[in-house]
Structures are given as C-alpha cells and as structure tokens.
Amino acid sequence: MSSPDSEKLDVDVEVKELDGGQVELQVKVPPDRVEKVKAAVLREFGRRANIPGFRKGKAPRSVLERFVDQEVLRDRIIDSLLEDAYDAATEKAGIKPLDRARIGDADITEEAGLAFSATVTLRPEIELGEYEGLKVTRRVTPVTDENVEAELERVRSRRAQFRELPKDELVTEGDLAIVDYEMFLDGEKKEDASAQGYPLEVGADQLFPEMNEALPGSKAGETRDVEVRYREDHSDPSLAGKTAQFKVTVKEARRRQLPELDDDFAKEVSDLETLDALRQRIRENLEAVGKALAEEEVRTQLIQQVSETASLDVPEALVGREVDRRMEEVENELDRRGLTLHQHLQNTNRSFEDWRADIEADARAAARRALVLDEIGERETIHVTDEEMHEEMHRQAEREGQSEQDLQERYSSDPAQFNRLVTRLYHRKTVQFLLDNAEVTEEIVEPEAAEEDSADTASERGDSVPPEQEADRTDE
C-alpha cells in the first residue's frame, strides 16, 4: 500500500556494506511525515467505524485514537509508508537492488518517526560482450529405422507381463526377484538396514549393484551371501570404509514376457489400426522431439556465448539463496518418493559435500546466466505483457489439468512463485531476441550409436518438447 500523500518523500538513510554483495540500509522517515500518514489512516478508519454517540465519519480524532486498536493503527501506518520510504532510500543511496529487500526492525516513535532496516542484494555492474549477430549451429540428426525400432521395443517392454518362474528354474539377468535380506556389520545384525519383499530387476538394481552379480543362477527359496564394501567417503559415517555382509533369500522370481508386435499390439497401445501406422507415428514423434532438441541446443549456445563474454561478479548472497532453494526442492522431491537425502546419497554413492558443491556450481552458473539475460533485456527494453502472462497461465493450467482461477489463486498466495513465472517469460523473450538477431547455420549430423541412444532417451519425454526449455532454465 503506497502512501496516501503524493508529496515526494524525504528520508534519512545510512548505508552499511555487508558480505556477499549486500548492503544494509538504516532508514528514517521524519515524524511530521508519519503524522500526516497517521491522520490519513485515522480518517479512513473514521469513515467506516461505528462509534457510539457519533454519526459515521463524524467522530473527532481524539475519540478515534482511543477507539482504534493501537497495534492495528501502527501496522497500517507502517504499511502505508514502507514501500515509498524504501524506494526513496534506495534512490537517495544511489543503489540498484537485485531483488526484494528483507525488511526488519520497523517501528514508530513520536521522537524519531518511522525507522526500519532493509537488507539488499546489489545488482552487480555488468559489462556485456557482443550479443547481436552471434553465430550458432543447429545440429539436426535424422531419425533412422533403428531409432524407430528401439522406441517400439521400449513401448513393448512397458507392456510386458511377468510370470512366476517354476521352483527349479534359475534366475537370469532381466528377471524380477522378490528378496528378503539381512545386513550384518562387524558380525552384528542391523535391523534398520534389513528388509523383506524387496523387488529388484536382476542386472539393473542401483541400490545394491552387488546383487546383480550374486543372484543369476539362484532359485526361489535359495539364500546367498553378498558382500558389500563401502567407500571411505560414504555419506553414512557408520558405514564409511567398512564391509557389510548380506544374507539374501529369493522368495519369488518372475520372468518378463513381451507381447507380440502385430496390429493387435498397435490397437492396444494407440488409436491406430496397424503396426506400420504405429511405426510412422513413432517416427513423427521422434522427428518432432529431435527438432525441439536442436532448437534447445541453439538457445543453449546463445545463452552460453553471452554469459561467457560478459564480465561480472555474481553476488554470493544470490548464490547462497539459490543453493538453499535447490536443496529444498531436491529434498521435497525425495520426500514425495519416500526417500531421505541420506538414502539418495547412499544410492548414488556420493558424499554430501560433493553433492552440495555441484549444486553450488550449477547455481552460480544459472545466476550468472540470469543476470546477463536481465541486463540484455533491460538494454533492449524487453517487457512481459499482461496478455503474455495470461497465455502462459492458460497453457500451464492445461498442462497441469486445473482451472486458471485455481492457478491464479496459487500465484496470488505465493509472490515468489509468481515472480519466477514473470522472470521465466522475461528470459524467454530475451533469448528469442538473441535468436532473432543471430546467424544460424544448419548441420545434418549422421547418427552414431551414442547419439541414437541420446535421441531414444529424449523420445521418452513425450510427443513434444516446449521450444523454450532452455530459456526457462536460466532462472532455476
């Protein structure tokens, strides 16, 4: 809420430099200005208040002051002044804030007026390199028959069924084994690290890769001993550098059965009538994905070029907040999957320090890209319009299967999330500006085995890939 008084606000401000590219502003608003705002707030209260003995809006100020809750009055005065006072303080101090300030210690006294502190991350000085006429290459990889067949096999494998193996049939790689296991460390059974009914695909288990080697050739009902050696830098200190023994009992084994590739299969997995038509659909989808990935790579090249040629110091405070946000996102996602961070680090065989260092490096690079795109967008007067916001919300609501009204309410209750949406659109438009002013050459890349694998993996993302993925990435 801005001040009801249109007069230019004069404030006293002291600037204290902090670490991490931040400053602290100590701001004071003179008592006379606070008094003007207080009078305006009381008039507003008086117009709506029902005070015994007075017609609405006719009670004198002395009565209003006794009638109004003083805490509510104080908060309304602060709310009325704070935004204008903060803007006036940053202007007077000659600073350019990078993001929203952290306001603290806001209070009002008759002698000093309104006083508050504001911790601000400063926008760094950015020296841009050339960002128009950049040369980039669009690499297009043709879709081969092998790509189509590999994707068809993936669709087929997702429709596989498992039949229980007879008791005398041996487990082989690719079978699904349901096992009970007990863990022993230094001869003592560890109850919290033992489990029953653990399902694993033999040859592909990541939690206990040692079982991939130990279980082939076993039978249902058989128990095998498995030894697991933990690294010296294991995330769990109680296991670091130690060797554990596992007793693994195969309770049940099942073998994958694939459906026949025929017209009936095509009807089952799609709205098509023939297997040839399904192959053509897969080819078209892979070509669409390949085209989108090629466009994404072009945008990545552009962002990388402008980021590498710019000169700036990324504020450490910004990096720290981004690291915290990313770590929280990872932990929330793990929680949704029923995992702890400790389990995730154990599964990936990584230490917490290495994991956090990687997040910090990615966060620093992302912050650098975002700052550079912000600077380019500001120089080129790029803006996000209300119509563009509406269109993006409409697309997001459709993707998430919810109403636009529910989505708008979600953003209204979470300003930080709304700001990320605006930033994402702003960066997307800025990258489009770079692309519109770039020199793009096209190169046909003959597929090789590794590239086919990459394209096949990408095809699993869906029938289409939004062309703005890379621009969205810059404000992560």
> Do residues 187 and 305 both lie within one domain?
no
- Domain assignment present for residue 153? The answer is no
- What stretch of H or E contains 39? helix 31-48
- Backbone φ and ψ for 175, nearest 5 degrees, come out as -75, 155
Query: Is residue 243 scored above 80 in pLDDT?
Result: yes
> Do residues 297 and 178 both lie within one domain?
no
Q: Which amino acid is at 439?
A: E
- Domain assignment present for residue 2? The answer is no
440: which strand partners?
Answer: 136
Residue 133 — very low, low, confident or very high, per pLDDT cuts 50/70/90? very high
Q: What is the CATH number of the domain that holds 452?
A: 1.10.3120.10
Of the ranges 171-185, 293-307, 421-435, which one carries the lowest mean pLDDT score?
171-185
User: Strand pairing of 135-140 and 439-444?
Assistant: parallel
Alpha carbon distance 291, 467 (integer Å): 9
Alpha carbon distance 30, 139 (integer Å): 63
> Do residues 71 and 205 both lie within one domain?
no
Mean pLDDT, the chain, rounded, equals: 85
Q: Each residue of 15-57: pLDDT tens digit? A: 998 888 889 999 999 998 988 988 888 777 767 666 666 666 6
Alpha carbon distance 254, 259 (integer Å): 16
Q: Indicate the number of domains in the chain.
A: 3
* pLDDT at residue 115, rounded to an integer: 92
Long-range contacts of 265-272 (CB under 8 A, 24+ apart): 265/156, 265/159, 268/159, 269/155, 269/159
> Do residues 251 and 295 both lie within one domain?
no
Last residue of a domain, one of 213, 241, 257: 257
Last residue of a domain, one of 214, 235, 257: 257
- Domain assignment present for residue 5? The answer is no
> Do residues 106 and 190 both lie within one domain?
no
* pLDDT at residue 72, rounded to an integer: 83
> Do residues 213 and 276 both lie within one domain?
no
**376 class by beta-carbon count within 10 Å (0-12 exposed, 13-18 middle, 19+ buried):** buried
> Do residues 71 and 213 both lie within one domain?
no
Q: Whole domain around residue 282: which residue ranges? A: 135-145+265-473
* pLDDT at residue 58, rounded to an integer: 63
Q: What is the CATH number of the domain that holds 175?
A: 3.10.50.40
Mean pLDDT to the nearest integer, 71-93: 89
Mean pLDDT to the nearest integer, 146-157: 94
* pLDDT at residue 7, rounded to an integer: 62
- Domain assignment present for residue 51? The answer is yes
> Do residues 184 and 226 both lie within one domain?
yes
What is residue 394's three-state secondary structure? helix
Mean pLDDT to the nearest integer, 170-186: 89
- What stretch of H or E contains 360? helix 352-379
- Domain assignment present for residue 214? The answer is yes
Q: What is the dihedral of CA 374, 379, 382, 383, to 10 degrees?
A: 70
> Do residues 102 and 141 both lie within one domain?
no
* pLDDT at residue 357, rounded to an integer: 94
Nearest to 305 by CA among 426, 128, 125: 128
Q: Each residue of 263-315: pLDDT tens digit? A: 999 999 999 999 999 999 999 999 999 999 999 999 999 999 999 999 999 99
Last residue of a domain, one of 194, 222, 257: 257
> Do residues 252 and 298 both lie within one domain?
no
Residue 212 — very low, low, confident or very high, per pLDDT cuts 50/70/90? confident
Residue 459 — very low, low, confident or very high, per pLDDT cuts 50/70/90? very low
3-state secondary structure 266-318: HHHHCCCCCHHHHHHHHHHHHHHHHHHHHHHHHHHHHHHHHHHHCECCCCHHH
Distances (CA, A) of 354 to 66, 320, 350: 61, 16, 7
> Do residues 431 and 346 both lie within one domain?
yes
- Domain assignment present for residue 3? The answer is no
Q: Which residue has the tokens 């994404």?
A: 296
Query: Is residue 468 scored above 60 in pLDDT?
Result: no
- Six-digit token pair at 363? 């966060």
> Do residues 95 and 216 both lie within one domain?
no
Higher-pLDDT residue of 415 and 427 is 427
Residue 455 — very low, low, confident or very high, per pLDDT cuts 50/70/90? very low
